[in-house]
């Protein structure tokens, strides 16, 4: 299947996924985050979406946004997808805290 989505759509997918993560983790501490499987799984799914979209943005966009750690974003997605039983909960939580406006 050919992928005809452009950078604007990919960035929108990333933004929507980040907003979902922030919604799912608002008013929640680390203990609740890791204990509530549905919430935790929903966040991991959004990380997958972010990583997949990031892997498909154009090289031109990546060059123009060198401050964005595209490789690390995609790498996190790969960990979530391929090492799902080895995901470091605290690492995921710390990343969420970095993107959280609070």
Range of the domain at 40: 7-99
Residue 63 lies in a domain: yes
Quick check: is 82 catalytic?
Answer: yes
Q: Is residue 67 one of the residues assigned to a domain?
A: yes
Q: What is the three-class DSSP state of 23?
A: helix
Q: Which residues, in sequence order, are CB contacts of 7 under 8 Å at separation 6+?
A: 57, 58, 60, 61
pLDDT at residue 83, rounded to an integer: 84
Q: Which of 13, 45, 56, 77 is catalytic?
A: 77
Query: What's the pLDDT at 36?
Result: 97
Q: Is residue 1 part of a domain?
A: no
35, 45, 56, 82: the active-site residue: 82
Question: What is the structure's pLDDT at 1?
Answer: 47
- For residue 94, how many other CB atoms are within 10 A of its CB? 11
Q: Is residue 56 part of a domain?
A: yes
- List CB contacts of 36: < 8 A, sequence separation 6 or more: 28
Q: Could you confirm whether 13 is annotated as catalytic?
A: no
- Residue 27 has a pLDDT of 94
Q: Residue 2: inside a domain, yes or no?
A: no
Scanning 4-69, the segments in alpha helix (DSSP H) are 7-25, 30-35, 37-56, 59-64
Work out how many domains the chain is built from and give that number. 1
pLDDT in tens, the chain (102 residues): 456 789 999 999 999 999 999 999 999 999 999 999 999 999 999 999 999 999 999 999 999 999 999 999 999 999 999 986 789 999 999 999 999 887
Which residue, chain included where needed, has tokens 């892997």? 55
């Amino acid at each position: 299947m050919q992928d005809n989505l452009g950078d604007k759509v990919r960035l929108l997918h990333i933004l929507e996924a980040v907003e979902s993560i922030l919604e799912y983790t608002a008013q929640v501490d680390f203990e609740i985050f890791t204990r509530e499987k549905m919430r935790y799984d929903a966040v991991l799914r959004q990380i997958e979406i972010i990583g997949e979209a990031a892997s498909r943005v154009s090289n031109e966009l990546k060059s123009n946004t060198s401050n964005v750690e595209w490789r690390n974003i995609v790498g996190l997605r790969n960990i979530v997808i391929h090492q799902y039983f080895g995901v470091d909960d605290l690492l995921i939580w710390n990343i969420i805290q970095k993107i959280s406006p609070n």
